[in-house]
Structure 1
């Protein structure tokens, strides 16, 4: 992926005194990776993440990473992860019915074990957007008087987890970088309409990536976001050749009102 910079924005109050607390960090890498990949077309930038984490507490152990690294996209992440820690637990499961929650189960088990075996730890940082972790966050704060921090990708961080944590941080690509992909995919669709071409999702992404020399996954993520937020509708329509197409219908008035298409970018 690119060298896109990332923002780490505090969305729930962090006490500066927390920086002196004995701290451990548990990372649900599947949650962080797939959220960034699917929402923004990015992958984690671990050097930036690590520097931000170090500001939040006194780390007394290696950062603990959990995830199923069996998919090709995740396998490529292992070398990046080893630049910040070698404490990696591979949570691959052969049971398709439990695969989705298997990483959560293993990470939760490790958290509860640490509560018992290392009672002197003062702060737990949970890097995940998953609401499954709200119970352990509540348990840590209410019954063990621990400080709990939550990190998650913007758009995937569970509000329930945020509410149960002492403080929370949202991770997202810097908006000026991400908005360029939105701008360029809209420019591509506008070009298609001017040339009497019916724009579809797949073709628009292919043309934008080729013409603007960018990564296809980022244009796909930008287009998905525009559809999700109601700026573009998808409807079945017939081409001149009588072929059924799932066409894109942008709401240009709304797009222009919100300044999403800037031809100077």
Structure 2
């Protein structure tokens, strides 16, 4: 269900959290324009801030030009050594700024909080229940805390991966035609898996990309290029796929 609305929007980005989550999960880096694009779908952006220790943290220091190019106000937060361990104060600064912002900008009804940190679940719940704001949580898929998702509500959680993969339908057609020349029977799932192997994508991307391949193969069925047929093989029913009609494509091999 699409509950998007138009109005005034503010976006607060816990950039350190997103940077490390995306790197660890997908070996990718955040694109600040992705957050701007998401925010635009909800209305006019009044405030866009990105938080992190951009001065001392060597991994995110070089991200500042990208953030500024995307019109973000870069907010430097501090990191201190407490009890022999580094302690980031990014979450404290974001919470502090959220409290000030919601009091000074009562006409901004939608707040986008980009993070996966469960420490923000209380402020999200407060903004929604006590202040009547709509809070959209944007986080890295597989790295958003359960508490934060519950506070926002399932319709107001957006998962991102930082990876982009689109199936080349013509390449997929050639691959399937070649597989049909090579094997007597093709099944839907095994063909999708074989095409995924051909791509040579890293393991951490495979679930995401496999779903894209399945969608593309279903499209080929809907378009009439592929057809699904049930046959009997050794007295056992088997669902196979086959190329419909003539093959005017150059096939692999």
Give the TM-score category using the shorter length.
Answer: 0.5 to 0.7
Structure 2 counterpart of 1:76, from 30, 44, 62:
62
Q: CA deviation at 1:121?
A: 1.6
Counterpart-to-counterpart distance in 2, 1:78 and 1:176: 26
Higher RCO, Cα 8 Å, sep 6+: 1
Structure 2 counterpart of 1:33, from 19, 40, 44:
19
Q: TM-score of the superposition, structure 2-length normalised?
A: 0.60
User: 2:160 aligns to what?
Assistant: 171
The number of residues matched between the two structures is: 170
The alignment partner of 1:156 has SS state of: coil
Equivalent pair of 1:68/1:90 in contact (CA under 8 Å): yes
The alignment partner of 1:155 has SS state of: coil
Q: TM-score of the superposition, structure 1-length normalised?
A: 0.58
Counterpart-to-counterpart distance in 2, 1:47 and 1:146: 24
Structure 1 counterpart of 2:123, from 132, 136, 141:
136
Structure 2 portions without partners, runs of 5+: 167-199, 208-251
Equivalent pair of 1:33/1:44 in contact (CA under 8 Å): yes
Counterpart-to-counterpart distance in 1, 2:35 and 2:104: 27
User: 2:52 aligns to what?
Assistant: 67
**Alpha-carbon distance change, 175 to 44 in structure 1, aligned in 2, over 3 angstroms:** closer
Counterpart-to-counterpart distance in 1, 2:2 and 2:76: 31
Counterpart-to-counterpart distance in 2, 1:168 and 1:54: 16
The alignment partner of 1:108 has SS state of: helix
User: 2:92 aligns to what?
Assistant: 105
Counterpart-to-counterpart distance in 2, 1:44 and 1:100: 23
Structure 1 portions without partners, runs of 5+: 1-12, 178-213, 226-263
RMSD of aligned Cα (Å): 2.7
